Amino acid sequence: MQAPLALTLALVQLGLFALCWLGVALLMKAQRPAALLFMAACLCDAATAWLQVTQVGSLRPVAAGLMTLGLGSAALVGAGAEAFVAGQIRHPRAWLGLLALGAAAAWLMQPLASSTAAQALQMGLYQGSFLLMLLLPVVGLQAPIRQEFGRLGWLALLPFAVMSLAVLAFLLHLLLQPQAVVRSYAAREDQGASSLIPLAVISGLFHIAWLGLTVGRQVLRAGRLARIDGLTGLLRRGPFETELADGLALARRLRQPVTLAFLDVDHFKRINDAGGHAAGDRVLAALGAVLQRVLRSTDRCGRWGGEEFVLLLHGIDASQAPATLQRLAREIAQADIAVPPPCAALTVSIGHATCSGSSEATGAELVARADAAMYEAKRRGRNTIVAHAAGLPAALHARPS
């Protein structure tokens, strides 16, 4: 491939990726730091491509510049990956330290690198810094990426891994045959056009993968917003009803009991009247956090509406439910959720109903029974737990808060 054409294609590709990241930075505030770092990496790669192709003859006169640009690009994509995954650059000193070490090898040792051994040492320090920059994301980010995106998240780290292997192979070659490596680095045949091919491939894989993660994160968040109540972090009513239907079907199949509890914040209107709706929202958010912390991973909890919550407790029968819910009420009391004065300490009323593994009760019927029991807890003076029993009307009621 002719050098001008190779350079043009490389610059067009990098320019398109830079525009994509600029769009991400403008449209997605949360992704802006990572997007700007990735865009800066595109500019570094573009400068590298231009310098490689336009330099005539030996690379030695521009070697320090090429090394610095390569290190800068690696530091930018690594720090950008950290910012994308963690929301911030977690190891700024590591990136700056490795960049400084590689740049020192590139610039400070260049006047001293007259012998083959000195030149090999210079290349080794530079490539070693480059290798560590590539390995940091692979080692440090694989767990959180897998947690957020599953196994496919590894694809975003694949370019780092491929480049790490390439750099490691170069270091081994340098260790075994330093003279051959130094000579080949200084030789030029096609104005660097062939060297743009791996740059374009790795760069393309990297930016496509991370742009894909950016889109995937928005899709996951949209799905989460459709399922999760933004204030409490619990399931919305619709998704909870789906979980309830699935849970009852599973309980019947496994012949296991299931308990549904209705929880209502006592005197919630007084909290809103005393501190405004912002105070009420803080109480609900804190209560949601307590419920998420206390309940088992197999349980499900949702916000039914207003200050009402529903809990689906798998494997809990009628004899176990009172003790389980009493522990939950104690955890809520011990959390000491702040309420505006002159409101009394936060308490809850809980009603619950249980169905056996052989029961054919529907989710709506179980909700109605637990709701009726909770209404009875309100009638008895609040801050209490009531089990549904025969004689309680199995219907929803308007009730005081």
Structure tokens at 247: 């849970």
CATH 3.30.70.270, the chain: domain bounds = 237-387
The Cα 169–Cα 163 span in angstroms is 10
**Tokens standing for residue 357:** 């593994």
Q: How many other C-beta atoms are found inside a 10 Å radius of the C-beta of residue 208?
A: 15
Q: Could you tell me the two tokens for 5?
A: 């054409």
Which residue ranges does the chain devote to CATH 1.20.1070? 3-227
**Amino acid identity at 394:** A
Looking at the DSSP bridge assignments, the partners of residue 309 are 263, 303
What's the mean pLDDT in 236-245?
93
Find the helix or strand (DSSP H, E) in which 238 lies: helix 237-254
Kindly tell me if the per-residue pLDDT of 265 is higher than 80: yes
Could you report the per-residue pLDDT of 183-205, keeping only the tens digit for each?
776 555 545 556 677 888 889 99
**Residue 394: what pLDDT?**
44
Q: Answer whether 349's CB lies under 8 Å from 264's CB.
A: yes
Question: Tell me, what's the pLDDT at 31?
Answer: 93
388 burial level (CB within 10 Å; 0-12, 13-18, 19+): buried
For tokens 């439910």, the residue is: 321
The long-range contacts involving 269-275, CB below 8 angstroms and separated by at least 24 positions, are 269/401, 270/343, 271/339, 271/340, 271/343, 274/339, 274/340, 274/341, 274/342, 274/343, 275/339, 275/340, 275/343
What does the pLDDT read at residue 398? 36
- For domain 3-227, the CATH architecture is Up-down Bundle (1.20)
CB 136 within 8 A of CB 80: no
Span 237-387: which CATH code? 3.30.70.270
Burial class (CB in 10 A: 0-12, 13-18, 19+), 381: exposed
Q: What separation in angstroms does the CA of 247 have from each of 152, 251, 298?
A: 29, 6, 10
Average pLDDT over residues 203-232: 90
- Residue 98 exposure: Cα atoms within 13 Å on the Cβ side: 23
Predicted TM-score (pTM) of this structure: 0.70
pLDDT band at 351 (very low <50, low <70, confident <90, very high): very high
How does pLDDT run across 131-188, given as a tens digit for each residue? 999 999 999 999 999 988 888 888 899 999 999 998 999 899 988 988 888 777 655 5
User: What angle is formed at CA 127 by the lines to CA 100 and CA 111, rounded to 5 degrees?
Assistant: 65
Q: Which two tokens stand for residue 376?
A: 């009875």
pLDDT at 111 over 60: no
Percent of the chain surpassing pLDDT 90:
62
Confidence of residue 117 (pLDDT cuts 50, 70, 90): confident
Distance CA 198, CA 375 (A): 69
Which pLDDT value is given to residue 28?
Answer: 92
C-alpha 353 chain-centroid distance: 37
